[in-house]
Structures are given as C-alpha cells and as structure tokens.
C-alpha cells in the first residue's frame, strides 16, 4: 500500500486511547494483505471508528480495462470470462453509463460499442479472462497498479477479432505462467510488449501460437532465465518476418519442440544465423 494513502487514515475524536491506537497500528501494518482490506471494506464499525471510507483507498488496487467491440453484428456474444467465485469483484459497465451489468454475456442484437471493466484487488489470476471472446476488437488497460496477478495463461486465447491491444499499463512483475496468452489472436498485426517483466515466468508454451498476422515481434526485453517450457511458442506465426530474441536464455528450457513450426523458412534461416545453436533443436 502506498504510504501516502495510509497516512490519510485517522481515528475519530474520542477514540484516542491505547486500545484504539494499537488497533489502528495493527490494521495499518496489515494493509498490504488482501484479507485485511476485505475485512475493512465490509466492516462498517471499523471504518466508522477510524473515520474512513475504505472505497477511497481500494482504488489503488483496482484494474480498469476498456473494450471496443467488433461491428460484426455481435454474432459472438461472449466478452469476458468471470469465475463464479469472483463475480463480485468484476464491475462491468456498458458505454459511459453508470449502470453496472451483473452478467457476462451480451444479449443478441444488443448494440454496444464500448464496455468498461473494473476488477478489484481480490482477483489474483487472469487465466482465460478473454478466452473465446470473439467479439472484441480492441482492449486497453487504463489502470493496473497491482502486482499480485500470477497467472495470465490463455488470457487472450481465441480472440479472433482482436486488432488492437494496449498493454502498456499491464503489470506482469509476479506472473509465472504466460502459456497460450495470445494464442490464436489471428487478427493482431502488431504487439508491443516492451513493458513486460518476465523475471518470474516459467511457462511460455504456445504463447503466440496461431498469431498468423503478426509481422514483427521484439522480445529483446524478455528475461527467460526461469523458463522451462517454450514448446509451440511461435507455432503458426506464418507472417512473422522479424523476431528479436536477443536476450533469450534457454539454459533451463526442457521443452522446445515445434517452437517455430509453421513459421517461414526465411525466418527460420535468420534465427539460425543470428542465434546460432541456441534454438538448433527446435528449428
């Protein structure tokens, strides 16, 4: 928790005693733990005693996403996958309306151009978040200051209509699994991952599988020191002409089969010449 935000919490007058001081000190010391934030959010007595509205502070933990939908008459109506146990932590709005939508599917023929999503701090995994969401044309992460997300596997899997993906605000510091993350994003022509922190990632298998429209990909900032699985990573990237893997460390990789299967012979030749024997067993 940002110390500037913590400093705003004050006790109500009349509670300035040893017991309340100790309680305040203990809560502040535990503010970084989601469970404590959850207790504070739903315990009105604690909020009243400390003279705070916890919603003023939880904003620091939220993630905001904007989606633009394809104009293809919304024949595919799913736009987000919400695990049943976490439905309370996803807040979905249509257009600029303040009306919150408590469902995760559009009605057929419902003409919605823009969807805004807020995801609360309790969510720790983005696994399959937009999987099979064929109606999405554009995704823009507006805010994401949290670093507690550990799983992004299949996050954009089979987003067939996705053409624009802005991940500049996506925090990947503690992510360990990126398998199939962009799999079958066949309309995606460019992808900027320059802000990605992959220091803790162990699985990159099928990460870009089927991204058949991507023409170039710069992964020079990727740290792959902990990665053990790269199989099928660029499988079917048939349009890829430039691929920067200059920082790739494959020392711990045990699975590399068909890593470049379906890529052009020209690209394979470039990789072989530029990186010599580093990817020899998968070319």
Q: Is the pLDDT of residue 34 over 60?
A: no
Q: Is the pLDDT of residue 160 over 50?
A: yes
What is the per-residue pLDDT across 167-187, written as a single tens digit (0 to 9) for each? Answer: 999 999 999 999 999 999 999
CB burial of residue 45 (10 Å; 0-12, 13-18, 19+): exposed
**DSSP result, 211-278:** -TT--EEE-TT---TT--B-TTTTTT-TT--EEE-TT---TT--B-TTTTTTS-HHHHHHHHHHHTTT
Q: Is the pLDDT of residue 272 over 80?
A: yes
pLDDT for position 82: 85
Q: Give percent of the chain with pLDDT exceeding 90.
A: 49
How far is the C-alpha of 141 from the C-alpha of 130, rounded, in Å? 13
pLDDT for position 1: 37
Q: Average pLDDT over the chain, rounded to whole?
A: 82
Total-model pTM: 0.79
Q: What letter would DSSP give residue 11?
A: P
For the chain, how big is the Rg over CA atoms in Å? 22
Q: Is the pLDDT of residue 264 over 90?
A: yes
Average of pLDDT values for 207-230? 97
pLDDT higher at 11 or 179: 179
pLDDT higher at 216 or 118: 216
Q: Is the pLDDT of residue 227 over 90?
A: yes
Query: Can you count the helices (H) and strands (E) in the chain?
Result: 6, 8
How far is the C-alpha of 87 from the C-alpha of 89, rounded, in Å? 5
| Cβ count within 10 A of residue 49 | 16
What is the per-residue pLDDT across 230-256, written as a single tens digit (0 to 9) for each? Answer: 999 999 999 999 999 999 999 999 999
What is the per-residue pLDDT across 75-93, written as a single tens digit (0 to 9) for each? Answer: 556 778 888 888 878 888 8
Q: What letter would DSSP give residue 34?
A: H
pLDDT for position 61: 63
| Nearest residue to 214 via CA among 174, 156, 143 | 156
């Amino acid at each position: 928790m940002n110390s500037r935000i913590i400093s705003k919490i004050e006790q109500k007058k009349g509670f300035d005693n040893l017991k309340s001081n100790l309680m305040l000190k203990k809560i502040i010391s535990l503010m970084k733990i989601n469970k404590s934030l959850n207790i504070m959010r739903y315990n009105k007595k604690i909020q009243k005693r400390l003279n705070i509205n916890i919603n003023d502070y939880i904003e620091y933990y939220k993630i905001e996403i904007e989606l633009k939908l394809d104009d293809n008459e919304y024949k595919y109506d799913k736009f987000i996958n919400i695990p049943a146990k976490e439905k309370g932590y996803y807040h979905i709005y249509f257009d600029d309306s303040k009306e919150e939508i408590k469902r995760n599917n559009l009605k057929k023929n419902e003409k919605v151009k823009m969807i805004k999503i807020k995801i609360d701090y309790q969510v720790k995994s983005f696994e399959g978040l937009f999987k099979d969401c064929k109606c999405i044309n554009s995704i823009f992460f507006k805010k994401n200051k949290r670093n507690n997300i550990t799983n992004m596997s299949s996050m954009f899997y089979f987003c067939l209509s996705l053409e624009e993906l802005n991940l500049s605000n996506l925090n990947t510091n503690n992510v360990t699994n990126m398998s199939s993350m962009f799999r079958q994003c066949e309309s995606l022509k460019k992808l900027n991952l320059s802000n990605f922190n992959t220091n803790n990632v162990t699985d990159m298998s099928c990460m870009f599988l089927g991204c058949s429209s991507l023409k170039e990909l710069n992964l020079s900032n990727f740290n792959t020191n902990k990665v053990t699985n790269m199989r099928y990573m660029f499988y079917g990237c048939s349009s890829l002409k430039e691929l920067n893997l200059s920082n790739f460390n494959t020392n711990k990789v045990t699975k590399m089969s068909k890593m470049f299967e379906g890529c052009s012979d020209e690209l394979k030749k470039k990789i072989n010449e530029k990186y010599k024997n580093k990817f020899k067993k998968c070319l």
